[in-house]
Amino acid sequence: MSESQRLSHVDARGRVRMVDVSDKAATAREAVARGTITMSREALRLIRSHAIAKGDPLQTARLAGIMAAKQTSALIPLCHPLPLTHVSVELTPTRTGYRIESRVRTSSQTGVEMEALTAVSVAALTVYDMVKAVDKEMVIGDICLVEKKGGRSGHYRRRRQP
């Protein structure tokens, strides 16, 4: 197995390790992640008419996603704590629910893909939590990295958008 094919979080003896980024230059980095939550017509109607008993699930989900991005290293064992310079979470209505997109930026030695993915995941879970009294059959899905910029591997853009 070549060096480029070896998993960076596993040492030569197969033990899990945190990657040492000491020698990497701090550069501007950005990641965009996306996911969906689908739900019943009744749940959509209640959200869109601001009639959910717990409050506005979209604003709460946006805030939860931002907070989650900032806590990613506490949730994912081998992630480095990063000084985030920007986090946005947008929930866009679709015919069957919402598309959730997060954009995260830093100027650091490692990327923010996990922070963007965490923001989308927690935003979707927050919508579910706030609307579950109305619809327990909601489905969270299609969570993926859409784009990343910066770092040694350069610019990546997902070919097939979810």
Q: How many C-alpha atoms does 155 have within 13 Å on its Cβ side? A: 2
Written as one string, the DSSP assignment of 30-94 is EEEEEEEEE--HHHHHHHHTT--TT--HHHHHHHHHHHHHHTHHHHSTTPPP--EEEEEEEEEE-
Q: What Å distances lie between residue 98 and 34, 42, 75, 121, 123, CA to CA? A: 11, 14, 25, 13, 11
135 is catalytic: no
Structure tokens of 155? 């610019």
Nearest Cα to 86, choosing from 66, 100, 68, 101? 66
Residue from 11, 129, 135, 142 carrying the catalytic annotation: 129
Residues recognised as catalytic: 129
